[in-house]
Homo-oligomer: A and B are copies of this chain.
Amino acid sequence: MGLDLCQSAQMAHDLRCAGCPVQRIVRSAALPASSFDQVLPRSQTFTLSAKRALYREGDPAEALYALRRGWAKLLRKDENGKPRVVGLLGAGSALGLEAVTRGVHRHTAVAVEPLEFCRVPGAVLRQLRSVAGPGFVDELARHWQAHLDEAESMVVSLGNGTAEQRLARLLLKLAPADGENPCVSLLRSDLGSLLGVSMETASRLMARFRRSGLIDGTRRRPQCDAERLRRAACGSANESS
């Protein structure tokens, strides 16, 4: 029920911070170097083990998080109160943008696998906002756009076509571009929730893909054939206006 504790293994900002959203956001404010040094040390790296929540739907948004490693799923209650997966965010994503406006978290963020992330307290954010230049607005806007793109691409690619095509698209999304192994350590019920099908159907489809050779390897560390998945992802149906 209560908040998950998310402190452990704090470490100083290191070289990997180069592309970190937090860095970009903080730098975008174009502060004088002195203020910059005051802000950055207050944002540190944390870890969170799988299945734990970064924050929960309805909590006041007290910080902005930048994912450094791992995947997080975003859950939101549907009209019956059941949680639905509405998004998956990977390394490089910013979570909890609501903190900029002292808002309330719109969804629950849960670690799908062990997470590594940075945390910027809301107070720091708002301090930045009050003194920052146009670059700060741009950088925030970029992240909001990214979230919107993510949500809309879910509607487009996971909302139409057969369940088989949708699963193929989802796996492709989860497969890092560099050909690494995808994170299909997702629960079957999460797959189902993302695809809008039942857990059993998700399981059957995964089994079919495995038999057909679209994916193989161990259950924990699956590999996938991106080329064949791409072919399976096409051939949709319905039209529109």
Contact = CB atoms under 8 A, between A and B. Distances in A.
Interface of A: 73, 75-76, 78-80, 82-87, 97-98, 100-101, 103, 106-107, 110, 126, 129-130, 133-134, 136-138, 140-142, 144-145, 147-149, 151-152, 154-160, 169, 187, 189-190, 192-193, 196-199, 233-234, 236-241
A233 B76 CA distance: 17
B106 A198 contact: no
A180 to B, nearest CB: 22
A126 B135 CA distance: 11
B155 A86 contact: yes
Given A78-B156, A79-B157, A144-B144, A240 B84 contact: yes
Contacts of A237: 198
A66 B76 CA distance: 28
Contact of A190 (B138, B156, B241): B241
Given A85-B241, A151-B155, 16 more contacts: A78-B236, A82-B239, A83-B240, A84-B155, A98-B145, A101-B137, A101-B141, A101-B145, A106-B149, A126-B134, A129-B134, A129-B137, A147-B148, A151-B152, A155-B155, A193-B240
Given A148-B147, A155-B84, A197 B238 contact: yes
22 contacts: A75-B241, A78-B160, A79-B157, A82-B239, A86-B156, A101-B137, A101-B142, A106-B149, A107-B152, A110-B241, A137-B140, A141-B144, A144-B145, A144-B148, A147-B148, A148-B151, A155-B159, A193-B239, A193-B241, A196-B196, A198-B237, A199-B239
A84 B130 CA distance: 39
Contacts of A234: 79-80
Contacts of A142: 101
Nearest 7 CB-CB pairings of A with B: A151-B151, A193-B240, A144-B144, A159-B196, A101-B141, A86-B152, A86-B155
Nearest to A190: B241
A80 B159 contact: no
A238 B199 contact: yes
A82 B240 contact: yes
Which of A142, A152, A196 has most chain B Cβ within 10 Å?
A: A152
A84 B190 contact: no
